[in-house]
Structure 1
Amino acid sequence: MRALSELVFHNTYSELPSDFGTRVTPQPLSDPCLVSVNPQVCALLELDPAEAQTDYFVDLFTGNDELAGFDPIAMKYTGHQFGQYNPALGDGRGLLMGEVLTSQGKKWDIHLKGSGMTPYSRQGDGRAVLRSSIREYLASAAMHGLGIRTTHALAVLSSATPVYREKVERGATLIRVAESHLRFGHFEYLFYTEKHGELKLLADYLIQHHFPDLLTAEHMPAPAQPDRYAAMFHRIVSLTAEMIADWQSVGFAHGVMNTDNMSVLGLTFDYGPYSFLDDYQPGFICNHSDYSGRYAFNQQPSIALWNLSALGYALSPLIEKELIDEALNTYQPQLQQHYSIQMRNKLGLQEQLPQDSQLFSDMFTLLANQAADYTLFFRTLSEIPHDEIAQSANRFESFFGCTQALSAWLAQYADRLEAEPRDDTQRLAAMKAANPKFILRNYLAQQAIDAAEQGDFTMIERLMSVLAAPFEEHPDDAHLADVPPQWGKELEISCSS
């Protein structure tokens, strides 16, 4: 483990031409303090977690001190927001501080969120509030614990700086860590401003640093395609399809799937008004500002394809249209295949039988009609031996409407398990490894925020503990997996969060 002063930097993005961003100095926050640090992310950076407890760490990431290796830059990009192209986007409250190079040659972006105004702030103050910083900090830990590709958050820092939203809130900084912060919108910016030379340069940069295997012919998509840019787009399509399938399988709704919030590495990016499903509602809208339901839970697969099409159009100076279409046509099959694997794992099914489609269809209809708790349904199912399943409807009563309808499906499911080769012990263990006991419910995040705003960070630490290992039992915190109170299901979250 290293001290901050011992980190090795290789700032490749800031070496790109000035069209790619603007150098900006972070604006200090007053009277800053550490809220929480994630030791798992410290390990990624090979950073000693004890460093986070120092005044230097706090001052460094709140704009009150400097580190020689940092080269802060606000990245320029554009994108489609709710379907409309917006040319005025970019890092409006964030800065790419530098890129840490580990002893294994792994490169990690260190990015500040809430570091003050930049040329892309669009009349904003460039600040983040404690509330939204905690939400992203917890969400990135939750997704990583679930095994879903995501950006990470090293730490949350608070301050006495007032920030004005719907009310006066505490200014904060989130330290985000990611393999890359390149977005679909980076390529859209260069395409719509007709900077085609820079577009090619950025594509080459992405391939060199993140898809180097595509530089060799044997890794081209089948049939063998010598065009590395087409291969790059194929890779982005595949990574995006897998990410969306993972979202749908765990009941995660992002809320703002604008193209500027889409990672070219298939990382879950820019957590704002997100939510994990409580009651199963296919058309669930987590963003209070999404009046049309464009980004509803069941729309996420199609919106991701729309976004990929927008990216493909932006790459058209580099890739022939037929090859763009060919890559886009692989999205739906890859999404369905990955989602099918995830859902079969959740039900403990190894064999593929013709009746399985009906089993799944009936299950989703039942969950929707009864407004059943999505996570608790699968976790409870993971705890019931085969010979008890058909008569186990009473075990679902706390979060199910009509258990009579459930009984019929449980009998159907019990019959289906007769065709499975695994014994109960193996099946139940596999199901528990696929169905989390804990998710980051909105009301839990809100309780952590409310306490943190009063200076109490213990709820954050308790949540971080269970979210890091959401498939384990955690008997001392088992109540964090309970059915949420009604008020907890009705919280309104907007983009301003």
Structure 2
Amino acid sequence: MRSSTEAVLADPAPIAWRTGFADLGPAFLTRLQPTPLPAPYWVGRSAEVAAQLGLDADWFASDAALQAFTGNQLLPGSAPYASVYSGHQFGVWAGQLGDGRAIALGETAGGLELQLKGAGRTPYSRMGDGRAVLRSSIREFLCSEAMAGLGVATTRALCVTGSDAPVRRETLETAAVVTRVAPSFIRFGHFEHFAANGDHASLRALADHVIDRHYPACRDQAAEFGGNAYAALLRAVTQRTAAMLAQWQAVGFCHGVMNTDNMSILGLTIDYGPFQFLDAFDPGHICNHSDSQGRYAFNRQPNVAYWNLFCLGQALLPLIEDQDQALAALETYKADFPQALETAMRAKLGLAQPLDDDRALIEATLQLLARQRVDYTIFWRRLSGAVAAGMALAPVRDLFLDGAAFDDWAVLYQRRMAGGDLGQAGARMHAVNPKFVLRNHLAEQAIRRAQEKDFSEVERLHRLLQTPFDEHPGSEADADFPPAWASSIEISCSS
């Protein structure tokens, strides 16, 4: 087998490409080829993402596609590269980082970038092997698509391929490649890299590229910042990030490793590693076994996002030039995030029209869940059903050990819902409170089967999580409480 990809798939080309990030030049990236893997096989595929890319269904099922998305053969017109960036990791400046195991194939004519994660060593691998393992690749594939199903801003996953090639982590595992898809994989860390190196020309070129390709309205909004489009860009990124964090908190999603190099400039959830959806509601839950200080605990995520945005603001300051303008752009987070979260929580409670006392009701609800460690997803789904059934709250009350505390809360809630159309409210709630999320034990079960070459559970979960608000008769076990052994699952940054 060749040490790097040389063969090119025969025409006709399945994907049309256009110029994009790679045209910024060699200061931003290194051209290189993926490193092939022996005897690849399909693990999971997303027909929905393939359709977004305009891929022919027959071609997507072919051996040619399998080889291309494993990195064994190049797609015609593709010019692969790995990009350089820097960043703060666990709050500490880590210096130069970069795509250590991700190799971009390019940007499609439809404006989507394709990236192979786990396709081999790059100049930014920092002594790593450039590979990803089957375990983490399945988790990323399933969660990318699960988050899309939930309506959360996210990168997507086209497919996962596997190989029996050995990869050493804590134990010996096997290799896999995830093909990730997004309008851009540019991170806060890209800006930090050029700012830290004093390369203001490259910093400006990067910012202009992001504005022209992804935030063109910032040119018109520049007047609000004395003609400075870069301050408008900082505000736009701040607003998108605030909206994303509100979605995370509302659905009970813990990212686990919110380093600045894991923050998307487009406000997308990116880099699925030690993530977790909450089981029992614990605001201080730490999902990343490597996070010994709890920096990225669930209830700290909103403040960490603001800290990361502040780092982005510092990186952009050479272009903004006015510290007050940068702070004004960042200040929008303090209003946008709580407003977005309050709107999301009102929807979860079925409140059609906002009232002044709603914030107190939301807080009382979350405090009650936290005190009794009630399962977060099950509570909201049962509450949706209870409202739809005319406020039949008994199944919800059964979730609480302290029934009297629930009764006190229920009085407040029933008073707030009085006079409204409960059927309509319940329907609205069912549309925002999912029945299914990718709990750790569900992913673990799919991984264990996949390690035995049975990928049926990956496929089944993928189908289920594409429509997580539907009932899916026969899948009740996937919406049930986690088994006792689920609490022993440890997820870390290793992948």
Cα deviation 1:104-162 (Å, max 9, x = unaligned): xxx00000000110111111000000100000000101110010110000000000110
Contact persistence 1:237–1:331 (CA under 8 A): yes
Query: What letter is aligned with 1:162?
Result: P
Distance (Å, rounded) in 2 between the aligned partners of 1:386 and 1:68: 53
Structure 1 residue 493 corresponds to structure 2 residue 491: yes
Distance 1:415 1:175, change over 3 A: same
Distance 1:4 1:118, change over 3 A: farther
Query: What letter is aligned with 2:71?
Result: G
What is the aligned partner in structure 1 of residue 378 from structure 2? 376
What is the aligned partner in structure 2 of residue 71 from structure 1? 79
Instruction: Give the superposition deviation at 1:457.
Output: 0.9
Instruction: Give the superposition deviation at 1:401.
Output: 2.7
Farther off after superposition, 443-452 or 483-492: 483-492
Distance (Å, rounded) in 2 between the aligned partners of 1:395 and 1:344: 18
Distance (Å, rounded) in 2 between the aligned partners of 1:462 and 1:387: 30
Instruction: Give the superposition deviation at 1:66.
Output: 1.8
What is the aligned partner in structure 1 of residue 442 from structure 2? 444
Distance (Å, rounded) in 2 between the aligned partners of 1:160 and 1:353: 58
> 1:74-473 counterparts in 2 under 5 A?
74-102=82-110, 107-215=111-219, 217=220, 219-220=221-222, 223=224, 225-319=226-320, 320-385=322-387, 389=391, 392-397=393-398, 399-418=399-418, 420=420, 423-473=421-471
Contact persistence 2:386–2:395 (CA under 8 A): no
Contact persistence 1:386–1:417 (CA under 8 A): no
Cα deviation 1:12-36 (Å, max 9, x = unaligned): 2221121101111110111101111
Corresponding residue SS for 2:107: strand
Distance (Å, rounded) in 1 between the aligned partners of 2:213 and 2:359: 41
Distance (Å, rounded) in 1 between the aligned partners of 2:12 and 2:446: 29
Contact persistence 1:377–1:396 (CA under 8 A): no
Structure 1 residue 8 corresponds to structure 2 residue 16: yes
Contact persistence 1:4–1:47 (CA under 8 A): no
Instruction: Give the superposition deviation at 1:49.
Output: 2.8
Contact persistence 2:390–2:422 (CA under 8 A): no
Instruction: Give the superposition deviation at 1:394.
Output: 4.4
Distance (Å, rounded) in 2 between the aligned partners of 1:29 and 1:274: 27
Q: TM-score, normalised to structure 1's length? A: 0.95
Distance (Å, rounded) in 1 between the aligned partners of 2:395 and 2:424: 24
Corresponding residue SS for 1:483: coil
Instruction: Give the superposition deviation at 1:357.
Output: 2.8
Contact persistence 1:257–1:303 (CA under 8 A): yes
Contact persistence 2:388–2:425 (CA under 8 A): no
Distance (Å, rounded) in 2 between the aligned partners of 1:306 and 1:419: 43
CA RMSD of aligned residues (A): 1.5
Distance 1:353 1:115, change over 3 A: same
Instruction: Give the superposition deviation at 1:360.
Output: 1.8
Contact persistence 1:151–1:176 (CA under 8 A): yes
Instruction: Give the superposition deviation at 1:6.
Output: 3.5
Query: What letter is aligned with 1:50?
Result: D
Query: What letter is aligned with 2:81?
Result: I
Instruction: Give the superposition deviation at 1:44.
Output: 1.1
What is the aligned partner in structure 1 of residue 5 from structure 2? none
Residue identity (%):
47
Contact persistence 1:141–1:468 (CA under 8 A): yes
What is the aligned partner in structure 2 of residue 24 from structure 1? 32
Corresponding residue SS for 2:261: helix
Contact persistence 2:155–2:180 (CA under 8 A): yes
Instruction: Give the superposition deviation at 1:48.
Output: 1.8
Contact persistence 2:113–2:182 (CA under 8 A): yes
Cα deviation 1:314-344 (Å, max 9, x = unaligned): 0111002111000111101000111111000
Instruction: Give the superposition deviation at 1:396.
Output: 4.2
What is the aligned partner in structure 1 of residue 3 from structure 2? none
Unaligned runs of 5+ in 2: 1-10
Contact persistence 2:277–2:440 (CA under 8 A): yes
Instruction: Give the superposition deviation at 1:387.
Output: 8.0
Distance 1:151 1:494, change over 3 A: same
Q: TM-score, normalised to structure 2's length? A: 0.95
Query: What letter is aligned with 1:367?
Result: L
Instruction: Give the superposition deviation at 1:346.
Output: 0.3
How many residue pairs are counted as aligned between the two chains? 484
Instruction: Give the superposition deviation at 1:356.
Output: 2.3
Query: What letter is aligned with 1:6?
Result: P
Query: What letter is aligned with 1:410?
Result: A
Corresponding residue SS for 1:158: strand
Cα deviation 1:180-211 (Å, max 9, x = unaligned): 00000000000001110000000000011111
Query: What letter is aligned with 1:447?
Result: Q
Query: What letter is aligned with 1:412?
Result: L
Corresponding residue SS for 1:177: strand
Contact persistence 1:253–1:275 (CA under 8 A): yes
Distance (Å, rounded) in 2 between the aligned partners of 1:71 and 1:313: 33
Contact persistence 1:79–1:85 (CA under 8 A): yes
Unaligned runs of 5+ in 1: none
Distance (Å, rounded) in 2 between the aligned partners of 1:479 and 1:154: 27
